[in-house]
Amino acid sequence: MGMYTELILGCSLSEKTPRILIETLDWVINSKKKPKYEYPKDYEEKIYNERFIDQTFSEKEIEEFEKKYNLCCIIYSGSYYFGCADSKPSFYKDDISKDYKLSFRSNCKNGGIIENFLEYIKPYIIQGSGPSDVYAYVQYEEDEFPTIYSLKYDKTNVLDPDIVEKFWKKNDLEWKCFDKLYKLVTPGFQVTDEMLKSRGIDPNDRHSDLAILDIIVDKICEDYKKAVNHD
């Protein structure tokens, strides 16, 4: 039967994106004339938008480009092995930013077609999500975690030791900077288990660091207000 791989993609494409890609995405996602692919029932009525690109390539050229990168398969395939089985793609040109917005979530029998498409499209991606500009999550059916594609780190496994190390170094530096301020403004103050419990936080919870930070900030604000009122 073969295993499935899920692709979650969301990105902004540059105005310099090849015209053939823009026209093909417009045709595959927005055309009222169905590309030659089997869609879910009632798909055309619910999801198709109006095409927004004046077509300069022939229908044959567009179909050949679609087949080269298996765009219909990548964008519309689905199975019940993942949380989302019905892709609802979106592709349009933003009136404000003047770039192209592309997003979809699907899963297919991969065989390298997902990686081939992502490699082709990456040079034209100008924005993803977050500080690293994440633009794609690729989840193989039997993998514990996805492979993440971003403009900053390229292709990385979510448990990549180098990425994890960089994250913790950054996190440690941020805490050290805050600790300097904390010790200067509220010397001797300690966050106790009782303080956390009073806020409904289990001291052993892995998210308790945020609660500790919140309590310290409250203490800094409290001491600052006292100092201002005293003056």
**What's the total number of domains in the chain?**
2
Shared domain for 39 and 101, answered yes or no, is: yes
Residue 126 confidence (pLDDT): 96
Residue 48 CA to residue 195 CA, distance in Å, equals 54
Residue 32 confidence (pLDDT): 55
Q: End of a domain among 124, 159, 194?
A: 159
Shared domain for 16 and 96, answered yes or no, is: yes
Range of the domain at 87: 5-159
Shared domain for 65 and 131, answered yes or no, is: yes
Shared domain for 21 and 79, answered yes or no, is: yes
- Closest alpha carbon to 52 in 76, 30, 74: 30
* Cα 98 to chain centroid, rounded: 21
Residue 81 confidence (pLDDT): 85
Shared domain for 171 and 134, answered yes or no, is: no
Specify whether the CB–CB gap between 201 and 211 falls below 8 A: yes
Q: End of a domain among 159, 190, 222?
A: 159
* Cα 213 to chain centroid, rounded: 27
Shared domain for 217 and 114, answered yes or no, is: no
Specify whether the CB–CB gap between 109 and 120 falls below 8 A: no
Shared domain for 21 and 92, answered yes or no, is: yes
Q: End of a domain among 159, 179, 211?
A: 159
Shared domain for 25 and 9, answered yes or no, is: yes
Shared domain for 185 and 135, answered yes or no, is: no
Shared domain for 155 and 181, answered yes or no, is: no
Task: Extract the residue ranges of the chain whose pLDDT is less than 70.
Answer: 1, 32-52, 158-160, 163-164, 206-207, 230-231
Shared domain for 130 and 70, answered yes or no, is: yes
Shared domain for 12 and 119, answered yes or no, is: yes
